Structure 1
Amino acid sequence: MNKKSLDWLKIKSSLAKLHEDLFWEDQRCSRRFFMDIQSNTSPEPIQDEDEKPSETSSKQMDGDELQRQLQISQKRENLANLRLAVKEKQLRDLLDENESMKRNASDENKADCTLVDQAVGVMFSAMRDEIRKARKDAKLAILELRALKNGSESSDTKALATLCKKLEKENAELKNEATRTTRLETVLSYCRKTVEGLRKRCRDFGDILAERDEEIKRLQAELARAHEENTRLQKNTDGTRTLQVQGDNQISEQYGIDHHGSVSVVTNENVEEVVSVSSRESAHEEMEFDDQVDRVLTPGASAVEAVNVSSPESIHGAPEPETISSDEQDVIDVSSSKDSSII
């Protein structure tokens, strides 16, 4: 910082010296020029008529002398102009160097160079505020003077009034646009939030639908298996019924059926009804043919029908009687009705 300040002082002193040299050189040149003019325009002595030839010769000599002096003065003037141009060039170089040094100075150095006392700073700020206020008052005064000079009917006043109205209208439009923009931004943010919520819900619904699709596929597979089982059971039931009917027909053809039997109905505590049908020969143990049908009805509305068919061969170690359950048929019918309702 001290080095830069010393360089600045040297540049300033050299500039002052150059200004002083230029000033004194200009003074010397102007003094010499005036002296030459005075010497050339000095009063001539009064001569007689006899001295005219010598006067003409002296005038010629004086003209030559004046021309020579004029040439000398022109040379001196050119030399002074050359020196002045050189000094001006040096001055410009120094000024350029000064500007480059100012531009290359850092912000800290600038701040250090511009540091002033606090009181001076306060006074400078007050002066600056006063100057700004004075300029503002001057502008207002100039406008008032122009208004008074031109009057309310002048073209300038009308143009200014039109311009003011136009600016006020544009300001109102800009305010409306700003309000509309703010409202649209608010609506846009709300729409973005709503869209994000809807996207989230769509993703949730997609997951739920995927789970439902998996469940539906599983139920469809179970229904297909149940349908196959139902078909198989129906086939088995039809075959069993066919075999039963054929056995009944064979037994009836061989022995016949006594329709003069007795019917007894017994109801127990579990609300079961047993219907027994037997022929007159059922009381005797040595009977050749027994035909007994037991039907049991349960309270849950499910019927179990057992048909025991015994023949004379059963006494002598024949195969066990065939048993047919109607629960399977009832379950098949119920499952088929459920399948049709679901479809």
Structure 2
Amino acid sequence: MLSSSKSTGEKKMIDMRGAYGDALVELGKSDPRIVCVGGDTTDSLKTKKFGDKYPERMFNVGIAEANLVSIAAGLAIAGKIAFASTYAAFVPGRAVDQIRNAICYPNLSVKLVVSHGGLTVGPDGASHQQIEDISTTRAMPNMRVIVPADAVQVKHLIKAMVDTPGPFYMRLARPTTEIIYPESTPASDFKIGRGNVLVADGSDATIIACGLMVGKALEAADMLKKEKGISARVVDMFTIKPIDTELVAKCAKETGAIATAEEHNIIGGLGAAVSEAVGETYPVPVRRVGVRDTFGESARDEEVDALLEQYGLTATEIARAVVEARSRARK
């Protein structure tokens, strides 16, 4: 479990997709088992980098997502470690049956890495704003679900996925995202199934976040400290499944109230997973920040922050959720 505080100063922004492509190229040097399957989005997902370097291990199947998943399954049966990538709206959206029956049921080493999750896909609108994918994949037996907070984490987690047999679903953001972790962070700080405590001294409440909402959770903690004197612990729960139940229970016992933050429907996502863990270990009030069971809408790229604000995915809303959760805490 990592315990650190976010440094102040100007935010550094890096593309998660670029980090994914770079990680595949690097890992491909020493592991010939790694192959990549694309769905006519290889430029966008940056898997073209892998294809340019290892063309014999790159398969672009076109706009045929069910085939993408099934072909990746076949490659895994043949002993390969298959990375299959496209947009989150299409996988799992168009390939739930194939993911369930061709990958999860036989427990194959297929790594589904998708981008364009959540509301921040810009002008593509509700049809491409995937807000239910974590719920869908989390419910499938054998599937592990990963939502990294930044590009540094992506590189280490791709390596961990290669080293861990079985199916994975990793969700990347479309926009460049704030760097949370120093480049020097060792791989041992990113363990699948373990959350990272970023602000360890919080004693009044806990904020548990994933993806690009981790940066906003850190902002909320600063806001609460300065404006209300509330000391909030911040946890990056990058592994949604298996969730770090031990850490969730520890935070519940030590701080008495929890707020969660995710760029996903509050039904079935991180907030639901945390609530389940809390209910089975140490019940405390949980307030969920996320998309409140509604579809999104189109917005120009320069309007994405306003879109997040419209749907309540902000540091201010997280801070408000903490205050509300604390008001319901045991006296």
Indicate whether the TM-score tops 0.5: no
TM-score w.r.t. structure 2 length?
A: 0.20
Structure ranking higher on relative contact order (CA contacts 8 Å, 6+ apart): 2
TM-score w.r.t. structure 1 length?
A: 0.20
- Structure 1 or 2: more strand by fraction: 2
- Structure 1 or 2: more helix by fraction: 1
